[in-house]
Copies of this chain bind each other. A is one copy, B any other.
Amino acid sequence: MGFLRGGLVLCILLLLCSFERSFGSGKTRHLKWDVEYMFWSPDCKESVVMGINGQFPGPTIRAKAGDTISVLLTNKLHTEGVVIHWHGIRQVGTPWADGTASISQCAINPGETFDYRFVVDKPGTYFYHGHFGMQRSAGLYGSLIVDVADGDQREPFHYDGEFNMLLSDWWHQSVHHQEVGLSSKPFRWIGEPQTVLINGRGQFNCSLAAHFSNTTSTNQCNLRGNEQCAPQILRVLPNKTYRLRIASTTALASLNLAVGGHKMVVVEADGNYVQPFQVEDIDIYPGQSYSVLIRTNQEASKNYWISIGVRGRRPQTPQALTLLNYAPTSTSKIPLSPPPVTPAWNDYGHSKSFSNKILALMGSQKPPINYDRRIILLNTQNLIDGFIKWSINNISLHLPSTPYLGSIKYSLKTAFDNKSPPENFASDYDIMKPPVNPNTTIGNGVYMLPLNTTVDVILQNANALLTNVSEIHPWHLHGHDFWVLGYGEGKFTKEDEKKFNLKNPPLRNTAVIFPHGWTALRFVTDNPGVWAFHCHIEPHLHMGMGVVFAEGVQHVNGIPNQALACGLTGNRFMKTTQN
């Protein structure tokens, strides 16, 4: 008995492949989007999700490198503002289009339309998502795929077909409710997600692989295939090479993906080519993307599981599953073996081994040998007035109501804390113990970075409030890729610098820090704007886990009025004739 009645599978396959038609290199692609809440059943249980043009996830944008994207985004929410961040797109020359509320623009008011217009300058696997409150968790996300430009040299690897897998996690409790809990005293944690979704589809009350379960409590899914929660099956031909574009916009879950019976060759990370390497499974942290190649060289009469499990936190969420199906084998044929087992959640050795394999493709741009400035950022969990917060060098970020891009450009000094936040932490701080930092405060100061300097950031992890607990945090930088110079254990010391990889460190936009460890990043301040740098775990950012970099803002010109029409910039520049 198949878990998916055939017939409609072809439709799903066509859907998966029917990307927006390409208009050639350097074209402007005009999109009109309405954001609104709607009823949807991402995991077979009905919820309210934030959709775009009636779709969840939002429409996939497909473009070629050099194209200009114009998204006329209309806010159809009733009382909420909205913004969309184009994750991985550097927004060179358009920092106001980065889609970060309180940083790059005023949130778009209900009923209003904002034109997000920006160039996608680099091929790769990207995505977009809400960046106001926790609207990403509410379902405001979609894929953004950039192909090589016409006439450009081709990708440095061959493939015959491709599939796009945008991964996310889903809660049944509304995001509004989650936000209240996180901001309450006593604190209420959101808990682990109910479901992991692949392209917005998961199964909560049943499993596609219940046959293999030891317990009888899990029901086998009985889906027709046209349900909102029915899996999209990856239908392939034998003896071909397929590119899987895998991106994670999860709010919390670090994931691990494996394809039963198939090895994967990693070729891209966060829109940058990497030296190809073969693995059995890959780790994907929130905010990261990969392309992997699989060769369909297995028995064509069978189907194979694609399984995605949670890592880095004690999992309470079932694996997400779908099938790799060799045409013309029936999609209703259940694989003979159970889905690949996700490595133990706390097997950090496995995680580190994977991370360390990621190196830049030969010939990639190398980092400057020397740095001009080094900022060391201690990550701690703190109690502030009884509220649980995350802090960086003892400051928990609370964004101001006036976006920085305008307030810095126009020197509105009361818009945020003018004192520069610290660039290091006390040398005697014990990162192995629960935090002893009584001076932790709420703040919104900015790291002011001169243009064209090389900045090192050392992300230093530490123990959380509970003894012997240190969490994974995937840090994402806006407006830039950074080189990942290395990962290390314990407290970073000057000695560790010697181990930096300056030869072929990978460029990416999101890198993880492991428990009680550090991660070293380097980037060049070549992009005027104000850029968020933050943990990409949505509730952690909500709890203050981020910093703000301002970079040559005096060189920014052409901020749209609409991006400034709130807070102090709104007040400063409103000139009516009445008074």
A-side residues, CB < 8 A to B, are 36-39, 48, 78-82, 102, 106-107, 109-112, 132-135, 174, 176-177, 179-181, 183-184, 399-401, 409-410, 557-559, 561-562, 564-567, 570-571, 573-579
Contacts and interface: CB of A to CB of B under 8 A. Distances in A.
B106 A401 contact: no
A492 to B, nearest CB: 34
Contacts of A184: 38-39
Contact of A176 (B37, B180, B401, B410): B37
Q: Choose among A106, A134, A564, A566 the residue with the greatest number of B CB atoms under 10 Å from its CB.
A: A566
Nearest to A406: B576
Contacts of A81: 79-81, 109-110
A100 to B, nearest CB: 13
Given A133-B79, A174-B174, A174-B176, A578 B558 contact: yes
A565 B566 contact: yes
Contact of A80 (B48, B79, B112, B401): B79
A238 to B, nearest CB: 45
Nearest to A49: B180
B112 A109 contact: no
Nearest to A556: B578
A186 to B, nearest CB: 10
Contact of A107 (B48, B79, B570): B79
Contact of A400 (B36, B38, B102, B111): B111
A179 to B, nearest CB: 5
B557 A561 contact: no
Contacts of A110: 81, 107, 133, 401
A134 B576 contact: no
B565 A578 contact: no
B78 A109 contact: no
B179 A78 contact: yes
Given A79-B135, A176-B48, A574 B578 contact: no
Contacts of A410: 576-577
A567 B112 contact: yes
Considering the complex of A and B, which 4 residue pairs feature the smallest CB-CB distances, nearest first? A111-B401, A79-B133, A565-B570, A561-B574
Contacts of A106: 109
Contact of A401 (B112, B132, B571, B576): B112
B180 A39 contact: yes
A82 B109 CA distance: 12
Given A79-B135, A176-B48, A559-B576, A570 B570 contact: yes
Given A38-B180, A38-B184, A133-B78, A565 B561 contact: no
A562 B570 contact: yes
A89 B110 CA distance: 27
A383 B564 CA distance: 39
B567 A561 contact: no
A394 B498 CA distance: 76
A578 to B, nearest CB: 5
Contact of A578 (B36, B134, B557): B557
A569 to B, nearest CB: 8
A80 to B, nearest CB: 4
A529 to B, nearest CB: 14
Contact of A132 (B79, B134, B177): B79
A82 B80 CA distance: 9
29 contacts: A36-B183, A37-B176, A37-B179, A39-B184, A78-B132, A78-B134, A78-B179, A79-B80, A79-B81, A79-B82, A79-B133, A106-B109, A110-B401, A111-B400, A111-B567, A112-B566, A174-B176, A410-B577, A557-B579, A559-B576, A561-B574, A561-B576, A562-B570, A564-B574, A566-B566, A570-B570, A573-B574, A573-B576, A575-B575
Q: Choose among A79, A107, A132, A184 the residue with the greatest number of B CB atoms under 10 Å from its CB.
A: A79
Contacts of A134: 78
A174 B178 CA distance: 13
Nearest to A82: B79
A1 B399 CA distance: 53
Contacts of A79: 80-82, 107, 132-133, 135
B401 A578 contact: no
Contact of A574 (B80, B180, B558, B574): B574
Contact of A109 (B111, B133, B567, B577): B567
B566 A571 contact: no
A401 B469 CA distance: 48
A400 B106 CA distance: 19
A47 to B, nearest CB: 9
Given A48-B176, A566-B112, A573 B571 contact: no
